[in-house]
Amino acid sequence: MIHLPHDDNTCGWYNALPKQPKQALLTGAQKADYVVLGAGFAGLAMARRLAEHAPNARIALIDAQRIGQGASGRNSGFVIDLPHKFSLEHPDPAHKQRLLSLNRFAIDQLASLVAKYNIDCQWSAAGKYQGAVGARGEAYLDHFEHLMTDLGEPFEHVTGTDLAKVLGTNYYSRAIYTPGGYLVQPAALACGLGANLPKNIEVFEHSPIVRLEKEQGGWLLQGEHGSIKTPQLLLGTSIFTREFGFLKNRLLPVMTFASWTRPLNDKEMQQYTGLLDWGLTPADHAGTTLRMTADRRIIIRNTYQHVAKYGNSISDKLRQEIQNDHRKVFLARYPQLVDVPFTHSWGGTYAISRNFTNFFGQLDDGVFASACDNGVGVAWGTVSGTLLADYVMGATSQSLDDIQQVTGMPSLNPPEPLLGLGVKSRIKLAKWQSRSEI
């Protein structure tokens, strides 16, 4: 039995979209030259690149939900060019330069597609702020400055009134601004990419695969209402890769949560006093991510949960408690906006590994995967999906060499219940240590 995502319907990004046209269900007994499972950023990129290589092949792109409803449409909308978090700590400068090059490959590709198809997704070369609240955050910022200097990348210090003019709050002591990142409405981007796929790609939504069987000459994917056979299967399934028997006990399912306001009206914008269209990540990794969107919504994101059963691990009571915590965080930064309500609170499940390593390559005869984005899904999903299709088709490039150099096998996890206890304890400890930055 395969455990399905079971995401709720509370994602603000997706609910802000116009009604999306329905795609077909997987029905009957079908065949395809290539099947891509998972229609997030990785799966969308895999399918598009396969179609470019093989314009006469039948390519099926299958998702258990709607495009944009899963993890790809639930993140905070940062498309980050820099090596992220622990990757920035890597001792090999060449490793970090490869990651930088791969992320910029993805940004260039997405920017080109957004322009080509006129995708309305708030795509913006806004850069990114990394902010500190107090002494703990400032120590992390000092370390970040050293890492950026070693990397040779540009950055700016922003403090005092200059920072408050951007953020509309004096809550932060200082920040470092890096110019290479982009901001986006992630669900709109995913849906826009899905609506503009090459014609030889058939999309099947609301079509969960509940059984995967190896057969002579390929694989049989059994759905709830139909099946499909293929000699070549590409998995863009992130954490759910383990549900199909691959990378078992190597991926950790973690959910992080966000809440956002309705768009501020003109009077509230005057009270806010900051700018539109910026994003701030915490210097202390367990702190709070903060965004002001181009359409006047403020987003608060923090709180991590180990979700062994994905969406089924989260109760309505827990979701309300998280929203209440987000409200406190919001009012600490914007007490002048006390009358502005949250309209949506949501979580998204992603995969991390204990050694912070991404998997890329072949898993079995005819089965290939990019799995474990470690929290940077937009850029990493796009570049890894594109290059996995190149790998399957036998193409060569410097980028393909680079991604094979920086990926590997995620570490084995301890058995349950030790794993769950350990992850939950680590999350609680990080939250307590970072309480001054939340």
Q: What is the pLDDT of residues 405-422, one digit of tens each?
A: 999 999 999 888 778 888
pLDDT at residue 194 in the model:
98
pLDDT at residue 144 in the model:
96
Mean pLDDT of all residues in 321-333: 97
**Which residues are bridge partners to 245 per DSSP?**
none
Q: How far apart are CA 262 and CA 168, in angstroms?
A: 17
Say whether pLDDT at 219 is over 90: yes
pLDDT at residue 426 in the model:
80
Q: How far apart are CA 45 and CA 106, in angstroms?
A: 10
Structure tokens, 140: 């992390």
Say whether pLDDT at 1 is over 70: no
Say whether pLDDT at 387 is over 80: yes
Say whether pLDDT at 365 is over 70: yes
Q: What is the pLDDT of residues 14-29, one digit of tens each?
A: 999 999 998 899 999 9
Mean pLDDT of all residues in 228-236: 98
Mean pLDDT of all residues in 360-379: 92
Fold of 1-117+185-251+302-438: FAD/NAD(P)-binding domain (3.50.50)
Looking at 34-38, 62-66, 279-283, 425-429, which range is the least confident one?
425-429
